[in-house]
Homo-oligomer: A and B are copies of this chain.
Amino acid sequence: MISRFFPKEFNFFDLFEKQVDYAVEAAQYFKELVSKGAVDETAIKNIQNIEHQADEAAHAIIDQLNKTFITPFDREDIYALTKELDDVTDMITTIVNRLKVYGITAIDKDLVKFSVVIDESVRGVACAVKGMRSSKNLKKIQESCVEINRLENVGDSMRDAVLARLFETSKDAIYVIKWKEIYQDAETVLDICEDVAHVVESILVKQA
């Protein structure tokens, strides 16, 4: 095992760090937002602002990829990593937007719990992605990936429990429509984090 995974002069890692930092920012903002219990116009603007910057970071990576002949790891892995990281921030933004569009004024406390798990998972993603700079981080990356997988399973169980309770107790179909979608979206964020972990694992196996 060499002490670096990839040549030093390459700047894809800077770009990935930037992109994953926006995902962390989005997850953290989402956690604060739902704990406060309301989504207003300012919140929408703030999350859209984060999403917009994340989008530009993603485009910078794709541009760099299209112009670069030799890449630090497989082109399709770079593409997949960027795409999945973009999806993380997008899905969090989608949830915040839905809360507004669906006119939800009281945040269900199970969504607060979900936001905590999402925040943890996205921080795990950041740790894994940033770790890729150096092979010294191999163990740390692997631990992050295990943790992201664990949190995805936690999210599955949470969603099933929440939906089962929703269908059992609510007679208000429109309430069910809204919250069913929001909880499924929340779990999807964790699925996407797991997809990022799979891409990272794939990249490491190829470098081994």
A contacts, CB < 8 Å to B? 62-63, 66-67, 76, 97, 100-103, 160, 163-164, 167-168, 170-171, 173-174, 176-178, 180, 202, 205-206
Q: Which of B167, B174, B180 contacts A167 (CB 8 A)?
A: B174
Whose C-beta in chain B lies nearest to the C-beta of A206?
Answer: B66
Oligomeric state, in number of copies? 3
Contacts of A167 in B (CB 8 A): 101-103, 174, 178
- A and B contact pairs by CB, cutoff 8 A, 12 listed: A62-B202, A66-B202, A66-B205, A76-B76, A101-B160, A101-B167, A102-B163, A103-B164, A167-B178, A170-B174, A174-B176, A177-B177
Residues of B within 8 A of A171 (CB): 174
Asked if A177 contacts B173 (CB within 8 A), the reply is yes
For residue A66, which residues in chain B have a CB less than 8 angstroms away from its CB? 202, 205-206
Interface of A is mostly: helix
Q: Which residues of chain B have C-beta atoms less than 8 A from A62's C-beta?
A: 202
**A97, closest chain B residue (CB):** B160
Please name all residues of chain B whose beta carbon is closer than 8 Å to the beta carbon of A174 when the two chains form the complex. 167, 170-171, 173, 176
Contact B178 A177 (CB under 8 A): no
Contacts of A180 in B (CB 8 A): 177
Choose among B101, B160, B206 the residue that contacts A164 (Cβ–Cβ < 8 A). Answer: B101
Most B C-beta atoms less than 10 A away, residue of A62, A101, A163, A206 = A101
**Cβ-defined contact, A103 with B202, below 8 A:** no
CA distance A174 to B174 in the complex (A): 9
- Taking a contact as CB atoms under 8 Å apart, the answer to whether A205 and B63 are in contact is yes
- Give, as a whole number of angstroms, the nearest-CB distance from A176 to chain B: 6
CB distance from A29 to the nearest CB of B (A): 19
Residues in B neighbouring A100, C-beta threshold 8 A: 160, 164
